[in-house]
Amino acid sequence: MTTTGTPVIGPQHPDRPTSAEPVAVGSLCTGIAGLDLGAAAALGGARLAWVADNDPDIARFLDARFPQVPNLGDLAEVAWRRVEPVDIIAAGFPCEDISISGRGAGIEEGTRSGTWTHVMDAVRLLRPRLLIVENVAALRWRWRGAGLSRLLCDLARLGYDARWHCLRARDVGAPHTRERLFLAAHPRGARRGPGPVPGGRAQTPRQAGGPARRDPARGRDQPRGHDLHPQLRSGCATADHSCSPGPERGGARARCSLSEPGGWGSQEEAIRRWEQVTGRPVPCPLEPGRRGGRRLSARFTEWLMGFEEGWVTDPALGLSREAHLRALGRAVVPQQARAVLDLLTRHGQVPS
């Protein structure tokens, strides 16, 4: 199922036979690929066969990060019989009509969250060995759980068994809550399927990046990070401290009062722990605004979400600050996705 020229996200594990092909992943509602990077990390490497996102800014991002990977665009317009079959489909479909901050329209055709119907079209025709789904935790309790029940029933009709688990970003060390529901489904009765390399250790999300290792502005590889999944107390990093951001040189921190020991107050432990997990220092949370004031830094948000420095905010990508924040706000924390898929795999809840 290998297609020449398409990238492997995440290096193949040393224990994988050299003749073994990485599993092929198709990504729906791709965004900035956080779910895909996390899945690749849990699986010890994967080949990104195709993506699908019709947001113009996201399409530009995907074209820059994965230039050889086709973007299927609008899911409503995809002719699935003509699409390359894949081992895994990953889908973080829109949450606007499910989230407590949304309209509450539910998973119905014609709504943003109704994109789920197109995900089911893909599963019905491509029959992947594994489906990975991500959405807000409200899916399990809003409308008395009707949203999650809808997903499980739809999958059952297609002959798929499914297990789900909710995990907070802070459970993998992030300094914010961001609870999300992850679901893994496979054909009923399937005994073997995509999973971590037997006897091996899955790669970290920072190692799962294939193209993420490349800095488009500098044309060089980024440093690798640490493999830590610490637990920590509930906390949310705040950005209301006074700071004076300055230019960074040679990877040095911006001049920011919060960089000093104890500068984060009650959030100090959470922030420093996430620095260890991500392998890089916290950027200053504020930057100069257009009218002389201060505003939230997209680079800080990128760090909070666990992505490589510049993964979204690199100027070479040509995206606006508004596009940065919108994309990051809809993204999946890669470390969170990896951790829950590790958990489901370890307990035999996905084929391995």
User: What are the catalytic residues?
Assistant: 95
> Tokens 């398409």 — which residue?
6
290: tokens are 């257009």
Classify residue 37 by burial, with Cβ atoms within 10 Å: 0-12, 13-18, 19+. Answer: buried
pLDDT values of the chain reduced to their tens digit, one per residue, 352 residues:
334 455 677 545 545 444 468 899 999 999 999 999 999 999 889 999 999 999 999 999 999 999 999 999 999 999 999 999 999 999 988 755 454 444 544 455 544 446 888 999 999 999 999 999 998 888 876 555 567 888 888 999 999 999 889 999 999 999 999 999 999 999 987 754 444 433 233 333 333 333 433 333 333 333 232 222 222 212 222 222 233 333 343 343 445 777 677 889 899 999 999 999 999 999 999 999 888 889 999 999 999 999 999 999 999 999 999 999 999 999 999 999 999 888 876 655 555 4
Of 288, 305, 286, nearest to 296 by C-alpha is 286
Residue 252, C-beta contacts closer than 8 angstroms, at least 6 positions apart: none
Q: Provide the residue count of the chain.
A: 352
Q: Residue 33 has what pLDDT?
A: 96
- Residue 178 CA to residue 340 CA, distance in Å, equals 14
What's the pLDDT score for residue 5? 52
Residue 278 backbone dihedrals phi, psi, to 5 degrees = -80, -20
| DSSP codes, 75-96 | GGG--GGGSPP-SEEEE----T
- Token reading at 131: 């489906």
Dihedral pair phi/psi, residue 320, rounded to 5°: -80, 165
Strand ranges in 71-203 using DSSP code E only, listed in sequence order: 88-91, 130-136, 160-167, 180-187
**Token reading at 88:** 């895994």
End-to-end CA distance of the chain: 19
Supply φ then ψ for residue 284, to 5 degrees: -65, 135
Distance of CA 301 to the CA centre of its chain: 14
Helix (H, G, I), strand (E, B) or coil at 222: coil
Rounded to 5 degrees, φ, ψ at 95 are -110, 0
User: How far apart, in whole angstroms, are the C-alpha atoms of residue 29 and residue 330?
Assistant: 10
- Residue 251 CB-density burial (10 A; 0-12 exposed, 13-18 middle, 19+ buried): exposed
Q: What is the C-alpha to C-alpha distance for residues 349 and 340, in angstroms, rounded to an integer?
A: 11
| Rounded CA separation 186/213 (Å) | 31
Please give the Cα distance from 309 to 290 (Å, whole number): 23
Q: Are 27 and 52 in contact (CB under 8 A)?
A: yes
Closest Cα partner for 178 from 330, 342, 29, 344? 330
- Which domains, and CATH codes, for the chain? 8-205+334-346 (3.40.50.150), 224-329 (no CATH)
327 contacts 312 by C-beta, under 8 angstroms: yes
